[in-house]
Every structure is written in structure tokens, then in C-alpha cells.
A and B are shown apart, each in its own frame.
Chain A
Amino acid sequence: MTEKREIATALADSTLSGELIRAPVTAPRMTWVDYLLIVGLSVVCALVFNKSNFKGIPIVPQSFLDEAVSFENPATAFDKHKKGETLFVDAMPYSFYEQEHIAGAVSLPLAIFGFMYDVSIGQTDKSKEIIVYGRTISKRHDEEVASNLVARGHKNVKILKGGLDAWRKKHYPVES
């Protein structure tokens, strides 16, 4: 039936004479060119605009890992947590901190780092050990916050290996 309709359409377009009636237009055939056109045009526009946009971002995220920052195992971190001499910093957005965080940790989300730093740990001794956590598959909040702390003069900044997930798996204390 589709084939008949195509023949009929072709006839209607031709110069052949005959009695004509009106019939629905068939759906156009899709090809990969249609998809290539839309996606290709989008990619080109996106890359060109991002390049010229003053708020543009690098195509691959930059690593913020500072040479002065090292990683700490959850077990060692827990020993220090028990002694109470180490400051734990949650680098995740505040809504995640509110939901659950390591017991006693302070919130230092990247989006409002400057403000929260002054409020929470601005007066802390710069040589005090700080363990930062907050990493997901999509974002390394911990690296960026640790790097910012080093830039503010803190000399003993570490990142919790495995983050909150590793801490929780070992049933170490959390609070909400």
C-alpha cells in the first residue's frame, strides 16, 4: 500500500494526465543526515559560542589537586577523628551536608566558599590538620576545596580516600 502511494505521488508530480483527487502526504523518510544535521550544527554552535563566551568553561574539567595535598585512609582518619585533634570539612553542597555528614564535620561548600570559610574556620590555626571529603562520580568537590584551603595558608590539608561512602561503609559515626 505504501508502494502504491509512492507511485501515485510520483504520478501526481509528473506530467501524466488523468483525474486527480487529494490524498494525505506520507511521512518523509528519515536518514542519518537528519540527525547529523541537528547534532552537528549543535556541536559546532556550542563549541564556537563557548570559546567566545566570557563565562565559557574548559571542555575537560581542570584538576585542582595541589601537590601539598595528600590522601588519608578512612581507618587512619577515624583514629584522628576519635582523638578530636583533626578538623573534618564537608565540601559537598549544603543540602547534602544537611542530609548526612561525618560527625562533627563543618560544611564548606564550594559555591559559597569565601563566606563559609570566614564564618566556620577562618580563625583556625593554619597548622591544624584538616581532612576534606566530598567527591562524586561527576565532581571532585574535595580537591577544589582542599586546594582553596592551601591557597589560604593551611599547611596540613588532606583528602579522605573514598569520601563519605567509604566512611559510612565502615560504620564510622555520621550525623544529619
Chain B
Amino acid sequence: MSEYLSLALRTYVGGIFIYASLNKIPDPGVFAENIAAYRIIPYQGLHLVAIILPWIELIGGFFLILGLRTRAAASILGGLLFMFTLFVIINIFRDSPISCGCFGTVAEAVSWKKVTTNTIWLLMTIQVFLFDRIYFLRRGGFVFEKKVHKDFHN
């Protein structure tokens, strides 16, 4: 059961990250402005983060959906979610009048609702990391069981 839940969750989380990245990749300048508003990333590294981060989201999302290196992809995307959540919390306490910038130009204020959503997605990546067993491309099919000698089972 957990395997099928993981399959559903990784498809969902992967889709969210791909969608989020597609809004950021075409215009890294706008995304850099969104990150700058958080006032956490140092000036010298801002552009590099704005250029690379959306691609990690895109490729990590594809890996999750396709079932390639899912544990690594889930831990990387989970790490990003943890970082995003921390940044949002810091700016809530700073009372910053900024929008989230999570999905490109769509304005969504930083709030505890955003923290809750991110935390739920983070829990989903943890579930995928721990229980994902269905591999489309790695093991040649929609299979999560294997034949073993009965004497060695248990």
C-alpha cells in the first residue's frame, strides 16, 4: 500500500516542482528579484542561485515522476522545501511585505498558510524517500515484488 501511495505522492510533488520551475526558468532576472526580496542570499551569489535553482526543481521533478533515483531526488527536493519554509518563516518574523515568488510571477504573500503547505509537501517527500519501491525505468516494469527463495525470506 505504501508503495502505491509513494507513487501517487511522488507524481504530485514532482508535478508541482516542474510547474514551479517552468515559471522561473525563462526569466531568471525576475526570479532573482523575488529571491532578493527575502534578504537572505548574499548579493554575490544571488544570480547563480536564480539561474540554477529552477533547473534543480525541474530535473528533480522529472526524476521523481519517472522513478529515476527517486530517493536522491526526493531528498534534494525535500531539502529545498525545508530551506524555502525556513526562509518564509524568517520573513514572517521580520514582517516583510513580500510575495512568496514560489510560482514565478503569481503573487502570494508569505504567510503561515504557505508554511503549512510547504510542510505537507516536505512530509510527502519524506514518505517517498522511505517507502518508494515502484520503479518504471530502473527495474523494467510496474513491479515492486521479486521472486526469492522461500528459505531465505523473513
Contacts and interface: CB of A to CB of B under 8 A. Distances in A.
Interface of A: 1, 4-5, 7-9, 11-12, 16, 18-25, 27-28, 30, 34-35, 37-39, 41-43, 45-47, 49-50, 53, 55-61, 93, 95-96, 98-99, 111, 136-140
Contacts of B41: 137-138
Contacts of A61: 43-44, 46-47
B117 to A, nearest CB: 22
B33 interface: yes
B38 A34 contact: no
Contacts of B97: 95-96, 98-99
A1 B148 CA distance: 14
Given A42-B52, A49-B25, A139 B98 contact: no
Contact of A59 (B27, B47, B148): B47
Given A34-B69, A43-B52, A95-B97, A24 B145 contact: yes
A38 B72 contact: yes
Given A30-B71, A61-B44, A46 B76 contact: no
Contacts of B113: none
Nearest to A35: B72
A8 B59 contact: no
B152 A8 contact: yes
Interface string B100-144: 000000000000000000000000000000101101001100011
Nearest to B56: A42
Interface string B79-113: 00000000000000001011000000000000000
Contact of B132 (A1, A27, A46, A139): A27
A136 B36 contact: yes
B134 to A, nearest CB: 9
Interface of B: 3, 25-29, 32-33, 35-44, 46-48, 50-52, 54-56, 58-60, 63, 69, 71-73, 75-76, 95, 97-98, 130, 132-133, 135, 138-139, 143-154
15 contacts: A8-B153, A11-B148, A20-B149, A30-B72, A34-B71, A35-B76, A42-B58, A46-B54, A57-B32, A95-B98, A99-B95, A138-B38, A138-B40, A138-B41, A139-B43
B72 A138 contact: no
A111 to B, nearest CB: 7
Given A11-B149, A19-B150, A42 B59 contact: yes
Contact of A38 (B44, B63, B144): B63
Contact of B51 (A20, A41, A46): A46
Contacts of A4: 152, 154
